[in-house]
Amino acid sequence: MIPSPSADAAGGAGGKGWTYTYLGPEGTFTEAALLQVPGAADAERIPATSVTAALEMVRDGRADAAVVPIENSVEGGVSATLDAISAGDPLRIRREILVPITFVLAVRPGLELAGIATVSTHSHAWAQCRDWAEKNIPHAEYLPASSTAAAAVGLQAAEPAYDAAICSPLVAERLGLQVLRSDIGDVADAVTRFVLLSRGGPLPEPTGADKTTLVVPLPEDHPGALMEILDQFSARGVNLSRIESRPTGLFLGDYFFSIDADGHVYDARMADALKGLHRISPNLRFLGSYPRADQRQPEIPKHTSDEAFHAADLWLEDLYKD
Interval 46-64: pLDDT, tens: 999 999 999 999 999 999 9
Alpha-carbon torsion (303, 309, 314, 319), positive or negative? positive
Measured between alpha carbons, how far is 97 from 95 in angstroms, rounded to an integer? 7
Q: Is pLDDT of 11 > 70?
A: no
pLDDT at 255: 83
Residue 86 CB contacts under 8 Å (≥ 6 apart), including other chains: 215, 246, 256, 258, 285
At 14 the pLDDT is: 58
Q: Is the pLDDT of residue 220 over 80?
A: no
Residue 5: which pLDDT band, with cuts at 50, 70 and 90?
very low
Residue 12 has what pLDDT? 47
Q: Name the pLDDT band for 286 (thresholds 50, 70, 90).
A: very high
pLDDT band for position 15 (cuts 50, 70, 90): low
Terminal Cα distance for the chain, rounded: 22
Question: Closest Cα partner for 211 from 246, 238, 247?
Answer: 238
Question: What average pLDDT does this structure show over 246-274?
Answer: 90
Averaged confidence pLDDT in the chain: 89
> Would you state the pLDDT for residue 16?
60
What's the pLDDT score for residue 8?
35
pLDDT of residue 260 exceeding 50, the answer is yes
Over range 154-179, report the average pLDDT.
92
The pLDDT > 90 percentage for the chain reads 67
Find the largest Cα–Cα distance for the chain.
87
